[in-house]
Structure 1
Amino acid sequence: MDVTTILLLLLVGALITYFSGDKLASKVALIFSLGALGVALTLLSAYSQGTDIGFMAQWIDMPKVALAFKADGLSMAMVLLTTALTPLIILSSFGNQFNNSKNFYALVLFMSFAMTGTFLAADGLLYYIFWELALIPIYFIALIWGNGDAEERKKAVLKFFIYTLGGSLFMLIAFAYLYSKANSFLLEDLYKLNLSATEQGYIFFAFFLAYAIKIPIIPFHTWQAKVYQKAPTVGTMLLSGIMLKMGLYSVIRWQLPIAPSAAKTYMPLLIGLSIAGVIYGSIVALRQKDLKKLLAYSSLAHVGLIAAGCYTLTLDGLSGAVSQMIAHGFVIVGLFFAAEIIYRRYETHTIADMGGIRSQTPKFSSLFMILVLASVALPGTFNFVGEFTVLYSLSQVNIWFVVLGGTTIILGAYYMLKMFQNTMLGETNTKAFADVTANEAITLGVIIAFLLFFGLYPKPIVDLVTPTLKDILETINR
């Protein structure tokens, strides 16, 4: 068994979900997503014992394109993030009713398939195909099942689609040029190229456009808040929890090792842009009256810090960035789900229309509070591990980077705790707030358990990714 088993299971699951009909679609999708998680954990066990779980086969002779899937610590960490969050996201949707639910859940599994393929692909063209495939299902999920005014939703989703597709075309041009130099799309062959400083500069920024839009990094962020707000919560979870990690992962896997000279040259600029996103996202979040938009800008601030860690080109920076990617994936999915639970009771995302929830359901408010504290990187949560490591790496580059980047902790604590106060405390809303259901409690409980366990014992994840990150740094510094 190798990593293609996960891909086949998710793809077959999407097809069977579609043909299972609307009544069974959600349950079938959950079963296949749990199956994919089980396979991923089995493969992780085999990988940790030294078994090669990658896959390589020639696909197209001209140009030379291989079905190459690389299984190392970094890719397996991201595959586990994807396969762990997908069933949680599907389970979280059980309290919603979707028209043509067989289409909806089939698209969710297909998107998980495409994102998993992106994390595993070790051939440039294959990677690009999976990268673009992931865009198609989220486009339809947000467009068809989104909320709010239909015209506004169409504009927001179309802008997102054009932005991301346009940025990706520059990446495709970069791969075409790299192929002309290496006569191969294989990752290991592209690593071996001896490109001039000028060539590296062009390649670096061609990749940067694709990744900066996907993450997003200032000033390529303008699509994000509207799409997060207008998409159904399942779509927002997929975008914020997993899809944006494709850009961050790709910075480490593709951009930095292929154009290391450019990465070192433009390091201050890129860290500066990333930290600008931290400050901008935090300040704008302070002014938000819509809960989903507040969480969207909070996410922008946090991923800006992760990107800054990637561009430090240090082991601490890369390790902290990967840890924070995983922690952020779980906490942001939990927070958006908490917002969805409130919406199911009050049918609003407006913070001013909430209040007094804690007096009606202490259980939900306690779970929500833990997620808020994890989001602001309270010691003992996994977010603290990643955020502290990234800030430490920034201090190794320039002390002012860590001073400015640290604003995410101060401002984040302020706007998140203020949000909690306005939604959970204060005057009780006249509308009754039902207690969390079993599905809701299980979803939130699993997320919180993960964040607390790895907050106290992050060693398994750090040990998993560190050897791969060391190899990537050796390639960068060769």
Structure 2
Amino acid sequence: MNVSLILLILLLGALATFLSGDKFASKVALFFSLVALGCSSVLVNHFLGGVDINVNNPWILQPHVSFALKADGLSLAMVLLTVSLTPLIILTGFGNHFEKSKNFYALVLFMAFAMTGTFLAADGLLYYIFWELALIPIYFIALIWGNGDADERKKAVVKFFIYTLGGSLFMLIAFAYLYINAGSFLLEDLYKLNLTATEQTWIFFAFFLAYAIKIPIIPFHTWQAKVYQKAPTIGTMLLSGIMLKMGLYSVIRWQLPIAPLAAKMYMPTLIGLSIAGVIYGSIVALRQKDLKKLLAYSSLAHVGLIAAGCYTLTADGLSGAVSQMIAHGFVIVGLFFAAEVIFRRFGTYKIEDLGGIRPQASKFTSMFMILVLASVALPGTFNFVGEFTVLYSLSQVNIWFAIFGGTTIILGAYYMLKMFQNVMLGETNTKVFADVTINETIVFVILIAFLLFYGLYPKPIVDLVNPSITEILKTINR
């Protein structure tokens, strides 16, 4: 058994979902996503037991391209994030009706397949193919099943598509140059290249453009809020919970080890840019009147801090960034699902039209409050582990980076608690708000249980990831 089995299950699941018809599509998609999760858990156990689950087979002879998948602790952690969130995201859709649902859920599974492939690929061209494949399903998901005015939605989605595709082309050019020098796209061969400082600078920023747009890092963020707002909530969850992690993961896996001299040279600038995103996202979130847009800018602030951790080039920074990627994935999916639950009852995301929910829905209020507290990194939640470690790593580089980066906790607590107060508290709303259903409760309980368990005991994830981080740092510091 090797790691390609996960990809096969997700791809076959997408095909089976499409062929199952609209009536059974969501259930078939959920079944295959759970099978992928079970398979991933088995493979991780094999990996921890010392079994080689990597794949490296010749694929294209000219140019020399291999179907190579690297299963180490870092990639497996991101695969587990993907296959854990995918069934939960699918389950959140059980309360919605989607026209041509077989197409919709097939695209969701195909996107999970492409994102998983991105995290596993150990050949540059194969990685690029998976990277671009992940863009196609979310384009159609947001365009066809999105919210609001059709023209505005189309404008937002096309902008997102062009931005990300354009940035990725620079990355493709970088891979072509690396292939000319290495004679191979294999990750291990690219790591061995001895590029000049000038060459590394060009390669570094070619990668940076692709990743900065995907994450996003300011000033490449302008597509994000509109797309998060206009996409159906399942699409928003896929984007914020998993897809943006492709960019952050790629910084650690591809950008830093291939161009370490440039990474060290531009470290202060990149950390400063990332922290500027933290402050900008938090301030803009304070002014939002739409719940989904507020959460979008909140996500922008948090991923800015994660990016800053990546660019510290320290063990604590990289380890904390990975922990925070996983924690952010779970909490942001929970928050967007809470927004969707409210929309199902009240038919609006406008904060001024909400309020008075707590007296009618005590269970929902309690679970929403826990997610809000997790998002502001309350001690005892997994988000605290990641943010504290990243801030500590920033203090090792420069104490001012840690101070300004820490504003995400202060400002985040202010705008999130203010949002909770306006949305949930106050006198009973004239509209009836039914408390959470069984399906909704299952999703919230799983998300919260994960955040609390690993907030108190993060060791399994840290131990899984840290050996890979150590190897990458050896490559950076060679």
Cα deviation code 1:233-267 (max 9, x no counterpart): 00000000000000000000000000000000000
Matches within 5 A, 1:207-218: 207-218=207-218
1:471 matched to which residue of 2? 471
- Count how many residue pairs are aligned between Structure 1 and Structure 2: 478
The separation in 2 between residues aligned to 1:149 and 1:277, in whole angstroms, is 29
1:177 matched to which residue of 2? 177
User: Does the residue aligned with 1:443 lie in a helix, a strand or coil?
Assistant: helix
1:239 matched to which residue of 2? 239
User: Does the residue aligned with 1:66 lie in a helix, a strand or coil?
Assistant: strand
The separation in 2 between residues aligned to 1:103 and 1:310, in whole angstroms, is 37
Does residue 195 of the first structure (1) align with residue 158 of the second (2)?
A: no
Normalising by the residue count of structure 2, what TM-score does the alignment of the two structures yield? Answer: 1.00
Check conservation: 1:353, 1:429, Cα contact below 8 A: no
1:340 matched to which residue of 2? 340
The separation in 2 between residues aligned to 1:207 and 1:427, in whole angstroms, is 51
The separation in 1 between residues aligned to 2:290 and 2:218, in whole angstroms, is 21
Check conservation: 1:128, 1:172, Cα contact below 8 A: yes
1:410 matched to which residue of 2? 410
Matches within 5 A, 1:370-409: 370-409=370-409
Residues 420-429 or 98-107, more deviating: 420-429
Unaligned runs of 5+ in 1: none
Cα deviation code 1:414-433 (max 9, x no counterpart): 00000000011012210000
Q: What code does the residue aligned with 1:362 have?
A: S
1:127 matched to which residue of 2? 127
Q: What code does the residue aligned with 1:73 have?
A: G
2:204 matched to which residue of 1? 204
1:264 matched to which residue of 2? 264
The separation in 1 between residues aligned to 2:54 and 2:357, in whole angstroms, is 49
The separation in 2 between residues aligned to 1:164 and 1:88, in whole angstroms, is 26
Q: What code does the residue aligned with 2:474 have?
A: E
1:28 matched to which residue of 2? 28
Q: What code does the residue aligned with 1:46 have?
A: H
What is the deviation of 1:104?
0.0
Q: What code does the residue aligned with 2:186 have?
A: L
Cα deviation code 1:75-124 (max 9, x no counterpart): 00000000000000000110000000000000000000000000000000
Unaligned runs of 5+ in 2: none
Does residue 3 of the first structure (1) align with residue 3 of the second (2)?
A: yes
Does residue 77 of the first structure (1) align with residue 77 of the second (2)?
A: yes
User: Does the residue aligned with 2:358 lie in a helix, a strand or coil?
Assistant: helix
Cα deviation code 1:333-357 (max 9, x no counterpart): 0000000000000000001111110
The separation in 1 between residues aligned to 2:239 and 2:297, in whole angstroms, is 13
The separation in 2 between residues aligned to 1:451 and 1:263, in whole angstroms, is 32
Q: What code does the residue aligned with 1:61 have?
A: L
The separation in 1 between residues aligned to 2:89 and 2:3, in whole angstroms, is 22
Matches within 5 A, 1:63-462: 63-462=63-462
Check conservation: 1:203, 1:259, Cα contact below 8 A: yes
Cα deviation code 1:418-457 (max 9, x no counterpart): 0000011012210000110000000000000000000000
The separation in 2 between residues aligned to 1:219 and 1:315, in whole angstroms, is 27
Q: What code does the residue aligned with 1:211 have?
A: Y
Q: What code does the residue aligned with 2:411 have?
A: L
User: Does the residue aligned with 2:378 lie in a helix, a strand or coil?
Assistant: coil
Q: What code does the residue aligned with 1:293 have?
A: K
Check conservation: 1:142, 1:230, Cα contact below 8 A: yes
What is the deviation of 1:46?
0.4
Normalising by the residue count of structure 1, what TM-score does the alignment of the two structures yield? Answer: 1.00
Q: What code does the residue aligned with 1:249 have?
A: Y
CA RMSD of aligned residues (A): 0.3
Check conservation: 1:6, 1:36, Cα contact below 8 A: yes
Does residue 48 of the first structure (1) align with residue 48 of the second (2)?
A: yes
Among the aligned pairs, what percent are the same residue? 82
The separation in 2 between residues aligned to 1:376 and 1:94, in whole angstroms, is 29
User: Does the residue aligned with 2:434 lie in a helix, a strand or coil?
Assistant: coil
User: Does the residue aligned with 1:285 lie in a helix, a strand or coil?
Assistant: helix
Does residue 62 of the first structure (1) align with residue 62 of the second (2)?
A: yes
Q: What code does the residue aligned with 2:360 have?
A: Q
Task: Provide runs of 4+ in structure 1 moved above 6 Å.
Answer: none
The separation in 1 between residues aligned to 2:205 and 2:429, in whole angstroms, is 50
Q: What code does the residue aligned with 1:235 have?
A: G
Q: What code does the residue aligned with 1:368 have?
A: F
The separation in 1 between residues aligned to 2:304 and 2:431, in whole angstroms, is 38
User: Does the residue aligned with 2:164 lie in a helix, a strand or coil?
Assistant: helix
